[in-house]
Amino acid sequence: MNVRIDKIEIISFGKLKNAVLEASGGINVLSAPNESGKSTLAAFIKFVFYGFSGTRSQSLAENERKLYSPWDGELSAGSLNITADGARYTVERRCLPSGKETFSVTERATGKAAFPGETPGEVFFGVSEEVFARTLFFRQLTQPQSRDDILADRLQNIAISADEQVNTSKAVAKLGDAKNELKNRIGNGLIPRLCKTRDELDRQLEDSMRQREQAHELLSRSEDRAKKIAAGEKKLEELNAERRNIEKFEALTKLRNISRLREEEKAAMSDYQLAGAGLKSRENVNSALRELSELNSEYVAEKTRLSAVAETLNAAEAEKRELESSMPISVADAKRAEKELSSKRKAVIAVAAAALALALAGLIVMFAVNKLTGAVMLGAAVAAAAVAGAMAALRAGVAKEFGFGSVKALKYELSSLPEKAAQLKSAEARVSSLRSGYESGFARCSQLKTELDGGISKYVDAGGEDYSGTLQSILELSTESGEKFAVWNIKKEELQKALENVDPEALAEEARGAVAPARERATVDTELKFYTQQCRQLSELQHRDELDIAALNSKSGDPALIVGKRDSLNSRIAELELQYKAYEAAIAAINESGDYMKSMVAPRISSRADEYFRLATGDKYGDFEVDTRLSMSYGSDFRRSCEYLSAGTRDSAYLSLRLALADMLFGGAAVPMILDDAFVRIDDERLKMISYALGEAAKKHQIFILTHGNREASALDSAGVTYNSVEIRQA
């Protein structure tokens, strides 16, 4: 088959995960750094067609399953979209962590499975995994060799068409071509295709009968399930009705609760209003009471202190009065009396002194000078003495004036008066101080009383001076009012919460016809959930079965028509088998004359390989040949083994052989080739010449060049060879 890979999808393989690469015919160049997964991609292509190899080997390098198992331990899986002889297929393979592999080939146009049980690589390429790996994979680690017995045996066992000079060879070739058109060793030809068609008809007939039987079983099961669904839906109707009544009753309960809360809120408001009826104001009661209590405490203390001051003042005034009563003369009178006594005493003394002086003078004059003059002077002295006596009597009058019987008594009192005056002054000062304190305290009491009366009158009518009782009464009224207010607030909040997002009219409509439910809501909800899930699951299964029945009926087709087609094909296959045997007999007869056909393989490969080798070496080396065991040599005059060539030229020779094998080993069909870092030992100039050979091969085959640099792309550009740049991207 002519095979082309259109798309590579990797779910998980080695280090690659969810990777996609889209390819085209001709040359596809993937340039990516080392360790980016290029070799893993190449191994994945072989994995999809043939599976893992070397799975029993303990060596990691030889055991592909160990080497390419995903790094996270998941399964290895992915697919290839290919085109084979014009038909489009999806080839998918999976390998579980346990090592079990599964694969499938699906025709994308119909979605039907193709080639069941057959290895995809053998179906599409007609060769084993080993031959596939030896011809279509050219990798850096693959050492070029000048001999390949396995490929040689394979080549000698296939029919090769060619224009040979020997008539018998031409006859065998033509018979071989005719025989191969019917059936060849790799499973291609008209007979295999007809057999596949017949097998497909057998499978279709088997599928048709099985699908019809499955449809009948599904239909019977669907009818039983329909009864269960009907019973479940009836039960759901009953449960929904019960659930609806529960919702109605819950609405009724909410309405009743709202009505109750309204009544309670109304009663609480009335209690609050009644509780505060005795208060003129409810504002700032507590803070005002604290201030008034402090004023009242000060008022009581001030009154107590004022009472004590009054008692002390009364005692001081009594003491003062007693001191005043014990004094027979006032201080002022005493001063005046003392002044008058002093003045009169001075006058008496002066007169007495004058009388004495006159008397002495009269005596002297009388005895010394003149008795008459002396007598006159003595008379004057007597008169002065009389005046002095009269003046002394005036002092007694002063004592009587101030209430004393004698001057002596007056003088006694005057002598004791300073002490008594000092005592009286002290008593007067004490009385004055106490009176000042009393007046100050009285004024403060009056002020406090005024403030108390004013503060209390804001809340109650003030009366009397029992401010403590009045304040206690206000406190009790305020406390009761606060308690009632708190209760009212609680009831209001409860009512507001009950009315939140609630329309009472809609709620009343919802509650219409409600009756007390027999069961709790949770119980009904549990049953409702159970039957709802059951009905949904049964309905899903029913819908799925209906789709399956429709699909089975549409896929089953007409068995009679399929049988007719199959019988017709059997007749045609039988005729072709006879024709095939006739070709075999003819070829066997010709081959009896000689066994040289095997030797024809090598010349044809040599010719094709020589064409590629001349392109790859710039015509420097010619006459490239391979023998029947694929040993390579070159040279027209002197044959030399390719083992004598340099490493780069030997790589070119080996690649030329691979390209020739790809042309001839697969019955002339186009196949994909993978070149993974195949040119690391080839210099830039030789790589450019190899690009010509690749361009020639790409006219027929699809080629993947996997490289870590840009040398290959540059060489292809220099050679003028068309190619497609591809990349691995995330799905």
Alpha carbon distance 40, 98 (integer Å): 21
Q: What is the dihedral of CA 557, 561, 566, 569, to 10 degrees?
A: -120
- Is residue 259 a contact partner of residue 416, using CB atoms and an 8 Å limit? no
Q: Pick the most confident of 76-90, 128-142, 169-183.
A: 76-90
Its pTM surpasses 0.75:
no
Select the more confidently predicted residue: 60 or 386. 386
Of 143, 118, 117, residue with least CA distance to 128: 118
Alpha carbon distance 54, 67 (integer Å): 10
Tens digit of each residue's pLDDT (9 = 90 or more) over 194-225: 888 888 888 877 877 787 788 888 888 888 88
Alpha carbon distance 4, 25 (integer Å): 7
Q: What is the mean pLDDT of residues 663-691?
A: 88
Residue 717 has pLDDT above 50, yes or no: yes
Q: Topology of 3-166+596-730 in CATH? A: Rossmann fold (3.40.50)
Residue 463 has pLDDT above 70, yes or no: no
Of 616, 677, 686, 634, residue with least CA distance to 146: 634
Alpha carbon distance 692, 617 (integer Å): 10
Q: CATH number of the domain at 286-457, please?
A: 1.10.287
What is the overall mean pLDDT for the chain?
A: 80
The mean-pLDDT minimum among 16-20, 225-229, 314-318, 350-354 falls in: 350-354
| DSSP state, residue 622 | -
Select the more confidently predicted residue: 333 or 248. 248
Give the pLDDT band of residue 575 (cuts 50, 70, 90): confident
State the DSSP string of 435-489.
HHHHHHHHHHHHHHHHHHHHHHHTTS---SS-HHHHHHHHHHHHHHHHHHHHHHH
The ranges assigned to domains in the chain are: 3-166+596-730, 172-279+486-595, 286-457
Give the pLDDT band of residue 59 (cuts 50, 70, 90): low
Q: Do domains 3-166+596-730 and 286-457 have the same CATH topology?
A: no
Tens digit of each residue's pLDDT (9 = 90 or more) over 221-252: 888 889 889 999 898 998 899 889 998 898 99
Residue 152 has pLDDT above 50, yes or no: no
Which residues, in sequence order, are CB contacts of 316 under 8 Å at separation 6+? 427, 430, 431, 434
Alpha carbon distance 612, 481 (integer Å): 114
Query: 492: which 2 tokens?
Result: 């209001």
Q: Pick the most confident of 49-63, 217-231, 264-278, 405-419.
A: 217-231
How many CA atoms within 13 Å lie on the side-chain side of 208?
A: 15
Of 298, 303, 320, residue with least CA distance to 438: 303
Tens digit of each residue's pLDDT (9 = 90 or more) over 628-654: 555 677 666 656 666 667 777 888 888
Of 154, 142, 162, residue with least CA distance to 186: 154
Residue 145 has pLDDT above 60, yes or no: no
Residue 462 has pLDDT above 70, yes or no: no
